[in-house]
Amino acid sequence: MANSVPGAGQVSGGIRTAPGGIRTAPGGILRLADDLVISRMGFGAMQLSGPGVFGPPRDRDQALAVLREAVDRGVTHIDTSDFYGPVTVNELIREALHPYPADLRIVTKVGARRGEDGSWRSSLEPGDLKAQVRENLAHLGVDALDAVNLRLRAEGAGRESIAEPFGALAELQKEGLVRHLGLSEASDAQLTEAQAIAPVVTVQNLYNLATRRDDALVDRCAAEGIAYAAYFPLGGFTPLQSATLDRVAARLGASPPQVALAWLLRRSPTMVLIPGTSSVAHLRENIAAAGLVLPPEAVAELDTIGR
């Protein structure tokens, strides 16, 4: 079943009312459904937990401040999961932002559990997926989740059938516990399989200036009005390093990470970004990248990276 939501995938400059006046949402907005309108520059909450995405943050007050600053600066899209911490990050989001602003949309993920040693364990059995959804509901303090991504097994490399686990989430959608569905670590074939079960509003995969295996999928998502959420937009645990990127950034008077984020926003009209940080200063730098205009010659130079 293809995306059939009226107005799905529409991009706009977008405005958001805030105390003191009206501000533009960073990166503009992406309308995926009447009840799912998000800022293209989002915030990935993973780094608010402790080292290795495990345990509490080093500075709890700073973590709460980052979340509040993101919303104050017009971000209406937060990416999270109960397996960040685990639980820690969702509890921080609830403490910092609940009751949630009317325009805030929280996208979460299910499909994994954490071991006591911090290990990541795939968990796609339908019964446990339903339990994970209910745990996210409880820890975020909501009656329904705005969107849930099914996190697939990395070792499956996009080949395994996802009908059973995705079908379990579709059942919860029919029950009203989940409003919209998405995929994480998905292949083109798995997206097609999922769409035969229920509409898919977002795909969340690894993609950045230097890692561009998903070029075709990025274009497909744009054509079908599906958000492509690039995780690790700055390289993740191995930050982007490129002499070309450094050279372009110096010429534009911006930082290399800002240029890399601006390139992603320009790459596709349905691209959304979820850079993460535990620093208010770093958050502000990331959000400022949404206003950076890349001249054609800079884009052409950056396009050579990762090819």
List, for residues 262-281, the tens digit of each pLDDT value.
Answer: 999 999 999 999 999 999 99
- pLDDT for res 8: 55
- pLDDT for res 120: 94
- pLDDT for res 17: 43
Tell me: pLDDT of 2 over 60. Answer: no
Averaged pLDDT, 152-158: 67
90, 80 in Cβ contact below 8 A?
Answer: yes
- pLDDT for res 156: 58
Domains of the chain: 40-302 (3.20.20.100)
Bridge partners, 88 (sequence order): none
100 catalytic per annotation: no
H/E stretch holding 149 reads: strand 145-151
- pLDDT for res 154: 62
- pLDDT for res 20: 44
- pLDDT for res 4: 35
Tell me: pLDDT of 1 over 80. Answer: no
- pLDDT for res 236: 73
- pLDDT for res 227: 98
Averaged pLDDT, 160-178: 97
Catalytic residue among 84, 100, 207, 231: 84
Tell me: pLDDT of 13 over 50. Answer: no
List, for residues 244-254, the tens digit of each pLDDT value.
Answer: 999 999 999 99
- pLDDT for res 306: 79
List, for residues 214-241, the tens digit of each pLDDT value.
Answer: 999 999 999 999 999 999 998 877 778 8
Average pLDDT, the chain: 91
Q: Which of residues 91 and 158 earns the better pLDDT score? A: 91
List, for residues 42-93, the tens digit of each pLDDT value.
Answer: 999 999 999 999 999 999 999 999 999 999 999 999 999 999 999 999 999 9
Side chain identity, residue 149:
N
**Judging by beta carbons within 10 Å of its beta carbon (0-12, 13-18, 19+), is residue 111 exposed, middle or buried?**
buried
**Judging by beta carbons within 10 Å of its beta carbon (0-12, 13-18, 19+), is residue 7 exposed, middle or buried?**
exposed
Tell me: pLDDT of 150 over 60. Answer: yes
Tell me: pLDDT of 142 over 70. Answer: yes
Where do the H-state alpha helices sit in 225-295? Answer: 243-252, 256-267, 280-288
Confidence of residue 155 (pLDDT cuts 50, 70, 90): low
- pLDDT for res 159: 73
- pLDDT for res 158: 65
Q: In sequence order, what are the residues at sequence separation of 6 or more whose Cβ sits closer than 8 angstroms to the Cβ of residue 295?
A: none
Q: In sequence order, what are the residues at sequence separation of 6 or more whose Cβ sits closer than 8 angstroms to the Cβ of residue 96?
A: 63, 64, 67, 68
- pLDDT for res 24: 75
